[in-house]
Structure 1
């Protein structure tokens, strides 16, 4: 089994961004979607990635060379129906959505081909990351349940960053590492209130339901991590955010990259936290300098919950905390 990561990205999107830094507007085309952003960060950290995806229509024809240029090994199921995409206007500091086209659901034969492709590549990978589609109508949750069970049951460490029905599906199949945000837990009814005690309870419940280790990210509060039965707060320096999006995907990617290289889970979580924190200081999802991330890892601490709490204000805390949701 090779020390690379397989990323399951069933329905990537074409992202069109309108920006303006000078006198003239600019148009930027990039591949997007959770799996693409995760694969980009894993590659930034020096770990090889095989990206399994489905592409179709005119958007798919544009997406394929863009995805191949990301430095990943791209494995594609081509389908008759169209891939999706969105257009955002970022001029004058805006984050305005102009149009969002989710694409068409995969049919039964396309799902079968994508499943077989993903399973084969995942079984050759040290770590398999299961990422979600932008729209839940595109891929049924049962695909995730079966992939988690088949990959995990045959030696691949499964990492997931999912919510809703997809989260319940991978828990049923079993995962090595699960990342979920506190907003998603509250929205899905898995947490009843926003409190340390409630999220600690949920961590243990997610573990009992099928996740070996769990991280719950909590926006401007320290993430909570359950590792080997112990709950930790993930403390990191506070950094000023240029773009708060994508920290959670970068966190998951950092964990996957370290685990694929045989690293310790605690180091993986610290690396993921550093990758997520640094990502929000940049414009561009799933990006970051590996040397900068490595330097930030040294400042991330896992503090056992219940230990004597000290004053959290440090020189690194003078700026705004980078979000990890």
Structure 2
């Protein structure tokens, strides 16, 4: 069987977009949420995906065939409560939110069923992606801690794009690869500021507390990554963005796809950066052409942080600083 990725997407959303590319307005329905967008990009990169999700209510009835049409292998736990969704209007070139309904939290029995489903499918996959719910209240952090532990202990490489309590939970268990944004680190009190030195310190701290490799995205600035004990800036060509949303999800997807195929970490980061960079040039989250992404990978460079500088921080520096704090 070909290598594949299990994506844990506990609470997908229905996205309703009002658009007007020509004279008449249009309404578009799509499945959404972090896990769906990641699965879509992994599929674009030619890697098979098994998507494990919970769906319920009228929204869930609409979501299921839409998700099945994405080209993923869909595994569903059907729930009594309703899935969530949102409506936004982008006719004037902006994204104006009209309504956002997060859905209901999963109950204990639904969580048990979803956990068993994701664990069983994840144990069959070389890489598992744990994606966050749109609203943190929908799924408790401990589900992520347990899933990361059980998958990691049994040979699946766990890739996460989480923040807040859900991130802290998986770090307790350990993960193979973590993607987080600098805005999330600042919001959650995990970084004091957005300086290069501070974010480098945080990279080493995240590694020390449970993440083997880490990428911190920095909006328009080059991402920072810790790979094999070395911190790099991720440099790529400047591209004009149509929609900057979703770059991080596509980056995570690119990393997972390469790791599932047996690629090394540096290639995984470069492919993730290329997938994220190309996604912002398109309408539609988690989309892109595989050949275009492959062409962009060759232009992504990992440059060691502080090369030739006296203030370069090393793992020993971090350890000494932590011991003295």
The residue that corresponds to 2:19 in the other structure is 19
The residue that corresponds to 2:29 in the other structure is 29
The residue that corresponds to 2:153 in the other structure is 153
Any idea what SS the aligned residue of 1:125 has? coil
The residue that corresponds to 2:320 in the other structure is none
The residue that corresponds to 1:315 in the other structure is none
Any idea what SS the aligned residue of 1:62 has? helix
Q: Is contact 1:2–1:126 with CA below 8 Å preserved after alignment? A: no
The residue that corresponds to 2:257 in the other structure is 257
The residue that corresponds to 1:87 in the other structure is 87
Q: Does 1:53 align with 2:57?
A: no
Q: Does 1:130 align with 2:126?
A: no
Mapped to 2, the partners of 1:2 and 1:299 lie a distance apart of 28
How far the C-alpha of 1:305 sits from its partner, in A, is: 1.0
Mapped to 2, the partners of 1:92 and 1:136 lie a distance apart of 31
Any idea what SS the aligned residue of 2:168 has? helix
Mapped to 2, the partners of 1:156 and 1:188 lie a distance apart of 28
The residue that corresponds to 1:219 in the other structure is 219
Q: Is contact 1:40–1:287 with CA below 8 Å preserved after alignment? A: yes
The residue that corresponds to 2:285 in the other structure is 285
Mapped to 1, the partners of 2:2 and 2:27 lie a distance apart of 38
Mapped to 2, the partners of 1:19 and 1:308 lie a distance apart of 50
Mapped to 2, the partners of 1:306 and 1:230 lie a distance apart of 11
Between the two proteins, the alignment pairs up a number of residues equal to 309
Q: Is contact 1:152–1:175 with CA below 8 Å preserved after alignment? A: yes
Greater than 4 Å deviation, 4+ residue runs? none
Any idea what SS the aligned residue of 1:200 has? helix
Q: Does 1:108 align with 2:108?
A: yes
Mapped to 2, the partners of 1:144 and 1:136 lie a distance apart of 12
Q: Deviations over 1:23-80 (max 9, x none)?
A: 1110000000000000000000000000000000000000000000000000000000
The residue that corresponds to 2:178 in the other structure is 178
Any idea what SS the aligned residue of 1:91 has? coil
How far the C-alpha of 1:2 sits from its partner, in A, is: 5.3
Q: Deviations over 1:264-287 (max 9, x none)?
A: 110000000000000000000000
- Could you list the runs of 5+ residues in structure 1 that have no partner in the other structure? 310-325
Mapped to 1, the partners of 2:13 and 2:130 lie a distance apart of 16
Any idea what SS the aligned residue of 2:38 has? helix
The residue that corresponds to 1:75 in the other structure is 75
How far the C-alpha of 1:3 sits from its partner, in A, is: 1.1
Mapped to 2, the partners of 1:112 and 1:47 lie a distance apart of 28
Mapped to 2, the partners of 1:269 and 1:93 lie a distance apart of 31
The residue that corresponds to 1:43 in the other structure is 43
What's the TM-score, normalizing by structure 1?
Answer: 0.94
Mapped to 2, the partners of 1:268 and 1:201 lie a distance apart of 22
The residue that corresponds to 1:247 in the other structure is 247
Mapped to 1, the partners of 2:157 and 2:136 lie a distance apart of 24
Mapped to 1, the partners of 2:203 and 2:37 lie a distance apart of 25
Mapped to 1, the partners of 2:33 and 2:271 lie a distance apart of 22
How far the C-alpha of 1:308 sits from its partner, in A, is: 3.8
